Structure 1
Amino acid sequence: MSFDSSVRRKPIHTRKIEMNSFLREDGLWELEASLLDYKAYDFPKRNGSIKVAGSPVHNMKICLLVTEGGEVSDVCARYDDAPYDQICSAIEAAYKGLVGLHLLRNFRNAVKDRFSRTSGCTHMSELVVLLPTVFIQSLSASRNRKEANSGKKPFQLEGCHALALTSPVVKEFYPDWYVNEKIAAGKIN
């Protein structure tokens, strides 16, 4: 995607994020996230060596062990490449501080509080706050089955603009929960 394909662009930086979830046979979830950064050009490092274009500047991974209810029960963080090598990777163990947090209850704010500034790694913290939505996506099929016959509002409704109760998506796929926009606005008696 480009704003104007007639204007030439020069690649500078690439960041790739990959996230996976796995349901274990013991009922726990493993949520894995990785971040890979690289430059499109060679550059000198402070030690005099050259960082070659396309080689990782950041290559980090974090795995959360999570209960079906959403509580983090264990964490493993790892840096395979980092700009300051062992200095960067020294923070790995600090991310065990995620244990006890709940992915679906104020998780992002808790990560910010615990790992802001010099208490954490900017890149690792940015990566880990994406995991709650991965977890929600992972749970959606089982939660939808459980909630289908319960009479409870499906958990994803009101979670984004497309799933507002007044949305045509809700009207089509969740008609029992659809609210006519005019009625919602109080324009129809």
Structure 2
Amino acid sequence: MPYRGRIGAPLSGFAMNAGLPVGNRRLVHTRHISCTAYERADGLLDIEGHLVDSKPFPLELSERGALAPGAAIHEMLLCLTVDRGLTIRDVRARTMHAPYGICGAIGDSYRQLIGLQIGRGFVRHVKSLFRGVAGCSHLTELLSPIATTAYQALWGDPLAKGRDGRFAASLKTPSPVDGCHALRSDGEIVRSNPQRFQQQD
């Protein structure tokens, strides 16, 4: 069956079209990461990241004992509440499943994020902040997709834009220009949409 962008869909068609060898293979691990953005009644945004690890065969863990095929080995939820300037106002972390009972005890440490602004250098800074024994590797891993989801949550939202259609200066978020090859400053897309991609002061 060709790949159609669905979670868990076979990649056979995609790999063949991309010129990648497939051959016979078997599923050995699945990691699902999903991020969802919600606008709250108070105008703030909740950005939730959810991570689940599972295996398609039985697994024995020292503290949890036998896990059935497909049971969650890790399941973590991290929610950042941000304002429209992408300053973090609140943080909630929850560990629903982990190999060890102590894993979830680190959750409150992520409240150190309160007051930080999501912007250039954010992911690098927080990975340093929660490196090693200072954090949970799985919760920390969620911070990068949560950050990009926060940008996507504001993009296209009329409440987050100025009247002329440009990104409101009050957001103080990095311009997307030169953030990827498609939006390079000397490229056709930026040249064709100068007002939309006008650099912020």
1:94 aligns with 2:109: yes
Please give the alpha-carbon distance, in whole angstroms, between the structure 1 residues aligned to 2:44 and 2:138: 26
Task: Please list every run of 5 or more consecutive structure 2 residues that lacks an aligned counterpart in the other structure.
Answer: 1-10
Deviations 1:34-71 (A, max 9, x none): 00100121122225832211000011101111111111
Please give the alpha-carbon distance, in whole angstroms, between the structure 2 residues aligned to 1:47 and 1:175: 58
1:26 aligns with 2:46: no
The number of residues matched between the two structures is: 174
Q: Computing the radius of gyration over CA atoms, which structure comes out larger, 1 or 2?
A: 1
- Structure 1: which 4+ aligned runs deviate by more than 6 Å? none
- Structure 2 vs 1, CA of residues 170 and 60 (structure 1 numbering), >3 Å: closer, same or farther? same
Residue matched to 1:169: 189
1:57 aligns with 2:73: yes
Task: Please list every run of 5 or more consecutive structure 1 residues that lacks an aligned counterpart in the other structure.
Answer: 179-189
Residue matched to 1:123: 138
Deviations 1:87-126 (A, max 9, x none): 1011111111111111114311221121000000111101
Percent identity of the aligned residues? 32
Deviations 1:110-163 (A, max 9, x none): 21121000000111101112222111111112355545369x8x9322221100
How large is the RMSD of aligned CA atoms in angstroms?
Answer: 2.5
Residue matched to 2:8: none
Q: Is the 8 A contact 2:166 2:195 kept in 1?
A: no
| TM-score, length of structure 1 as denominator length | 0.82
